[in-house]
Amino acid sequence: MKLKCGKCGTEVDEEDSYELGNEQVCEDCYFDSAMSQQTCDPVAQSSVEKFVETFGDVKPEELLEEQRKVYEFIKERGKVTSVEILQKFGMRQGELTQIFIVLRRFKLAKGAKIDGEIYCVPWDYGISEDHNEE
Ligand SMILES: [Zn+2]
Structural domains in the chain plus CATH codes = 58-131 (1.10.10.10)
What lies within 8 Å, CB to CB, of 133 at 6+ separation is 10, 28
- Percent of the chain scoring above 70 in pLDDT: 72
Q: What percent of the chain has pLDDT over 90?
A: 22
Report pLDDT digits (tens) over 75-98: 999 999 999 999 999 998 888 888
- C-alpha 90 – ligand 1 centre gap (Å): 31
- pLDDT of 130: 47
Give CA separation, 133 vs 9, 12, 43, 117, in Å.
12, 11, 29, 24
CA of 15 to the centre of ligand 1 (A): 14
Distance 89 CA to ligand 1 centre (A): 30
Res 60: pLDDT: 62
| Entry pTM | 0.55
* Structure confidence at residue 74 (pLDDT): 95
- Whole-number Å distance, alpha carbon 108 to ligand 1 midpoint, is 20
The three-point CA angle 49-50-51 to 5° equals: 90
